[in-house]
């Protein structure tokens, strides 16, 4: 996310990838780590399980590992950030929805900021984050209504996942079609809440 921020602040571009992104990171003095740094026992186990069961390329059990944040400042400016390791079993150099602006991440002061997790290919096809903002901005839908409707659309493509949304008025919304989504929210009035299962507003 620090590197994405540097692309926004210190280049004329929106998206850099591969060797060019690494070179830019070095120029910006951003810490680079060896690919081994990202290795975890659990992901390795999942990959072996995926291969053994010949389940195809897709992440077994859809245990996503993406982290997203949306924020709104006191002037109603919104921002979104999403960081991911992608999906277990993906092809080398596969790009998912997370870095694709409008798919897994989007922020527009006229509607809201959105960060997504889920089956990236379907999120890209549905342009999820932008679609939620477009529904709010152009069709006057509520953040919850738009988020639910777009996730339902993703569902028609057999995609599942979740979104977090904040509006310029500071309203925070969650929606997900997976059994759970680790989440939390806080506001200036003292709201401080975390959840795993159930939906926003429930006590689960």
Residues with catalytic function = 66
Q: Shortest Cβ distance from residue 185 to ligand ASP (Å)?
A: 19
Residue whose tokens read 């709010």 = 136
> 12 vs 56, which CB is nearer to ligand ASP?
56
In b/e form, how buried is each residue of 88-123, taking b as 16+ CB within 10 angstroms?
Answer: bbbeeeeebbbbbebbbbbbbeebbbbbbbbbbbbb
**Rule CB under 6 A: is residue 98 a binding residue for ligand ASP?**
yes
**Rule CB under 6 A: is residue 99 a binding residue for ligand ASP?**
no
CB atoms within 10 A of CB 3: 17
- Site map 117..146 versus ligand ASP, x via CB under 6 A: xx-x--------------------------
**Nearest 5 degrees, angle CA 163-CA 87-CA 126?**
45
Q: Which residues contact 85 (CB under 8 A, 6 or more apart)?
A: 38, 43, 65, 66
Q: Shortest Cβ distance from residue 43 to ligand ASP (Å)?
A: 11
DSSP letter for 187, please.
Answer: -
HSE of 166 in the Cβ direction (CA atoms, 13 Å)?
22
Q: Binders of ligand ASP among 40-69, rule CB under 6 A?
A: 64-66
**Rule CB under 6 A: is residue 96 a binding residue for ligand ASP?**
yes
Q: Shortest Cβ distance from residue 52 to ligand ASP (Å)?
A: 22
Q: Shortest Cβ distance from residue 203 to ligand ASP (Å)?
A: 26
**Which residues bind to ligand ASP, rule: CB under 6 A?**
64-66, 84, 86-87, 96-98, 104, 117-118, 120
């Amino acid at each position: 996310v620090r590197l994405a921020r540097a692309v926004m602040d210190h280049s004329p571009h929106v998206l850099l990838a591969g060797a060019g992104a690494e070179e830019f990171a070095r120029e910006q003095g951003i810490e680079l780590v060896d690919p081994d740094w990202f290795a975890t026992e659990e992901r390795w186990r999942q990959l072996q399980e995926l291969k053994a069961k010949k389940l195809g390329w897709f992440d077994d059990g859809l245990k996503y590992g993406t982290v997203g944040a949306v924020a709104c400042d006191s002037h109603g400016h919104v921002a979104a950030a999403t960081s991911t390791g992608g999906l277990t079993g993906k092809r080398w150099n596969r790009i998912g929805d997370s870095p694709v602006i409008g798919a897994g991440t989007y922020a527009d002061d006229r509607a809201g900021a959105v960060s997504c997790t889920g089956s990236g290919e379907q999120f890209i096809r549905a342009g999820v984050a932008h679609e939620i903002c477009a529904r709010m901005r152009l069709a006057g839908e509520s953040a919850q209504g738009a988020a639910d409707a777009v996730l339902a659309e993703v569902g028609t493509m057999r995609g599942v996942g979740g979104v977090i949304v904040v509006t310029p008025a500071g309203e925070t919304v969650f929606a997900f079609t997976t059994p759970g989504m680790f989440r939390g929210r806080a506001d200036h009035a003292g709201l401080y809440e975390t959840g795993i299962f159930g939906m926003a507003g429930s006590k689960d």
